[in-house]
Amino acid sequence: MPSIHKVQRAGVLAISGIAILGTMIALTGTPKADEAVGTGTPAAATVPAPTDKPAVVTGDSFFDGFERLSRHRWNISDGWSNGNYQSCRWRARNITLKDGVLFFKLGVEPDAVSLTRRPEGEADTVERTKHDRDYNCAEIQTKQVFGYGTYETRMTSIPNPGTVSAMFTYIGPGLDPTKPHDEVDFEVLGKNTNEVQLNFFRHGKAENDKLVPFGFDNATQMSRMAFEWFPDALRWYLDGKLVHEVKATPEKPLPAEPSKMMLSVWSGQGENMVQWLGRFDPSRLPQQATFDYVAFTKMGDPCQFPDSIVCKTKPAP
């Protein structure tokens, strides 16, 4: 539920991750070979009517093992917060990379410091001003949107009430005001890191919240999380096991808008967030969640790495 995605919990409606005002910082790096623009023979050209909307260009399959951060794939959120329900501000410095693992830190926001020089013989003055948020948090999002396929990561979460560690897809207000709010989630709530919350949104409406146990503490042991997003069904997997499935019906359609993929950790504030997440304990800070890899496999494409769910399931129709 973290970046630019709206959340509806305990009567709260808020934008939870992408900036309405703020800065998205592009990560630097040399593009990988798998990021080259594809080539092929175009189909016969057709001229659309002037009223036709341009087709949405979606991203291709990829596997990112975080040997580095690609400037072509990722943006990092920096310098803003999502709303009054969030007690932290996104900070680029909270994301670090070591030995192929991405670390997302939740920490204490330092005061802003200003120095005023005084005439010779007088002492300079230092002023400290508190920011509008007491804590800082971390989020990255893909530059491209992606459509039907399989989304995967391997991660640990932060054990602290009032926090969320997440991998999810999102499109809608705050990211693209012309699109409805569609979303699919894995959210580990820090009040109990032995389970994960699964959910999806279709046109801004939350559907099918479900808590699923890991069978261990995800704060200390990584879990492989994957969801298949197809036109007819959503399926969530933990460590290779199918744990939840929702099939599309005429009465309850599934998300259909190509979306960005996001990873984040954040902390909440206010009684509505306390009801959902528990009461945040800042005495535990700083804390970190970790992400070992992230992958997207377009519907119909072959599997890309041995642990992928796509290697173990039948190809999508």
Non-local (6+) Cβ contacts of 284 within 8 A are 159, 160
Q: Is 187 a catalytic residue?
A: yes
Angstrom distance (rounded) from CA 63 to CA 35? 10
Angstrom distance (rounded) from CA 285 to CA 259? 32
Among residues 109, 139, 152, 187, which one is catalytic?
A: 187
* Other CB atoms within 10 A of residue 278 CB: 17
Quickly tell me which residue has 């260009």 as its tokens. Answer: 57
Q: Is 183 a catalytic residue?
A: yes
Query: Cα–Cα–Cα angle for 188, 193, 195, nearest 5°?
Result: 70
- Residue pair 315/165 in contact (Cβ under 8 Å)? The answer is no
Burial of residue 201, with CB atoms counted within 10 A of its CB: 0-12 exposed, 13-18 middle, 19 or more buried: buried
Name the residue among 196, 182, 194, 185 with its Cα closest to residue 262. Answer: 185
Name the residue among 205, 317, 296, 214 with its Cα closest to residue 255. Answer: 205
- Residue pair 188/165 in contact (Cβ under 8 Å)? The answer is yes
User: Residue 79 corresponds to which tokens in the numbers above?
Assistant: 């310098």
Angstrom distance (rounded) from CA 91 to CA 82? 12
Angstrom distance (rounded) from CA 78 to CA 94? 9
Angstrom distance (rounded) from CA 211 to CA 199? 9
Among residues 109, 139, 183, 257, which one is catalytic?
A: 183
Question: Which residues carry out catalysis?
Answer: 183, 187
